[in-house]
Structure 1
Amino acid sequence: MSRQSNYPIQPLILNRWSPRALSGESLTENELMSLFEAARWAPSSYNNQPWRFIYAHCETDAWDSLFGLLGEFNQGWTHKAAVLVVVVAKTTFDYNGKSSITHALDTGAAWENLALEAAARGLVAHGMEGFDYAAAKERLGVPDDHVVLAMIAIGKPGRKEDLPADLQEREEPSDRRPLSEIVMEGRFRA
């Protein structure tokens, strides 16, 4: 599928997608930290920067712990990722301790920065649910004023043919809803 935007946007944004085919090759620490560095520069309410990333390289004990959180479907393709990441957000503001309603929005901005940096470098960063959130919180020692939001599989692109047959059909960039469904002037419209 060839993606086309209705209005001009940066090609990096248009061409970023979430493949599942991964090569199994490792990433250097510099490659990985560059992705987290991009995430670090995301905007946030009151500059609270609520995002936290817990990661593990493949073939480590920490990897086994994170991989074990995933459901069977996600384990079927993430085993060739170089790194798994659990995305966590602090739900309170540093400056006053009160609840931050924008913690997920802010952390989503950080995740998007990471995903775009990965795409710019020719890497895969695939965000996902499909894991045990409660076990992640407990196993990783996530404090009560933080919430587990998602996991990310990061790696170098692999071959579509190496995926399970049912995933090979789906291994292409997906389209997006039209603006008329997601943008509303003046008030919400169903």
Structure 2
Amino acid sequence: MSNLSTESARSCLITVGTTEFNDLIETLDSSHEELLSLLSKNFGITRLIIQKGKGKHYPSNLCKKNAFDIECVCMEYTTAEKLQQFMQEAELVISHAGAGSILESLRLKKKLLVVINETLMDNHQIDICKPLSEKRFLHYCYCKNLLETLQHANFKNLKHYPSPDHKALPNLLNYEMGL
């Protein structure tokens, strides 16, 4: 583990938010060689930052020295400011389907792959991801097809999520009130 603010490094941020998503971390760790190869060849990644939350699985295979010379840093949590810095610096974000993580990645115009956690009740995460994917703001997948999606998804065709219109609500209220 070396300096996290090396400006020349191209990084990939993997985040599970404040909960746990063991299936995601285990999937990535068990397919570490193929994952690292894809990240290196398809995205030029030289640093992998994993925010694993309170999950039990530590990605020991990903975090050991590898043939692709990708530095790996793993942490349970970090400050909101540091996570935003990692996200700003990331070439690619692989995220759980938390609304906050998705919106922050989209706001920063990042290449985003959202991984649906099928173990959650009602599988509401698909309700967030599907419309955003249909409008080409992000790609999504499940753990079982993560590597295939990462290999075949066209991140160049993703559109930038529009900036918020902070005047929309006041303008609507003024219109409704006849002002």
TM-based fold match above 0.5: no
TM norm structure 2: 0.29
Higher share of residues assigned helix: 2
Greater relative contact order, per chain length (Cα 8 Å cut-off, separation 6+): 1
TM norm structure 1: 0.28
